[in-house]
Amino acid sequence: MTATTDVAALFRERFPQAVGRPSGDCPAFNVPADQALAVLRVLRDEGGFDLLTDLTAIDAGPGSSPRFTTVWHLFSTTGHAYVRLAAACADDARPAMPSATGLWPGANWHEREAFDMFGITFPGHPDLRRILMWDGYPYFPLRKEFPLAGLETQLPDIEVAAETTARVLPAPLMGGPFVATPGTTLDAGEPRAGDQSWTERTEKPR
Amino acid sequence: MVSANAELAYNSKIEGDVVVSRLDAVINWIRTNSMWPMPMGLACCAIELMAVAAARFDIARFGAEVMRFSPRQADCMIVAGTVTYKMAPQVRRIYDQMASPKWVIAMGACASTGGMYRSYAVLQGVDRIVPVDVYVSGCPPRPEALLDALMKLQNKVSREPAAQRLFRA
Give the per-residue pLDDT at B126. 95
Q: What is the average per-residue pLDDT within A180-195?
A: 77
Distance in Å from the first CA to the final CA of chain B: 58
In chain A, which ranges are continuous DSSP H helix? 7-14, 36-45, 107-118, 158-164
Q: What is the average per-residue pLDDT within A94-120?
A: 95
B58 touches B147 (CB < 8 A): no
- Given a cut of 70, the residues of chain B with pLDDT beneath it are 1, 5, 7, 168-169
**Nearest by Cα to B153 from B139, B129, B136, B128:** B136
CB atoms within 10 A of CB A71: 16
Give the per-residue pLDDT at B46. 94
Max intra-chain CA distance, chain B: 81
CB atoms within 10 A of CB B99: 10
How close B76 comes to chain A (CA, Å)? 19
Q: What is the average per-residue pLDDT within A43-70?
A: 92
How close B143 comes to chain A (CA, Å)? 29
Chain A residues closer than 8 Å to B93 by CB: 157, 160
pLDDT, tens digit, for every residue of A128-176?
999 999 999 999 999 999 887 789 999 999 999 999 999 998 887 766 6
Give the per-residue pLDDT at A143. 93
**Nearest by Cα to B158 from B150, B148, B169:** B150
A176 touches chain B (CB under 8 A): yes
Confidence band of A196 (pLDDT split at 50, 70, 90): low
Euclidean distance between CA atoms A192 and A189, whole angstroms: 8
Q: What is the average per-residue pLDDT within A102-110?
A: 95
For residue A178, give the chain B residue with the closest CA: B118
If phi over 0 gives left and psi between -120 and 50 gives alpha, with beta otherwise, what is residue A67?
A: alpha
Please state the ipTM of this predicted complex: 0.79
Give the per-residue pLDDT at A187. 81
Q: How far is CA B27 from CA A32, B22, B60, in A?
A: 73, 9, 20
Give the per-residue pLDDT at B169. 52
CB nearest to A156's CB, from B89, B117, B120: B89
- To the nearest whole number, what is the mean pLDDT of chain B? 90
A171 touches chain B (CB under 8 A): yes
A175 touches chain B (CB under 8 A): no
- Kind of pairing, strands B76-80 and B103-107? parallel
Subunit contact A160:B89, Cβ cutoff 8 A: yes
Chain B residues closer than 8 Å to A166 by CB: 88, 123, 128-129
Q: Would you tell me the crossing angle of helices B143-158 and B45-53 to the nearest 10 degrees?
A: 70
Give the per-residue pLDDT at A1. 46
For residue A141, give the chain B residue with the closest CA: B120
**B150 three-class SS:** helix
Confidence band of A7 (pLDDT split at 50, 70, 90): confident
Subunit contact B120:A174, Cβ cutoff 8 A: no
A69 touches A22 (CB < 8 A): no
Give the per-residue pLDDT at A199. 64
If phi over 0 gives left and psi between -120 and 50 gives alpha, with beta otherwise, what is residue B58?
A: left
For residue B86, give the chain A residue with the closest CA: A134
Q: Would you tell me the crossing angle of helices A36-45 and A7-14 to the nearest 10 degrees?
A: 130
A164 touches B92 (CB < 8 A): yes
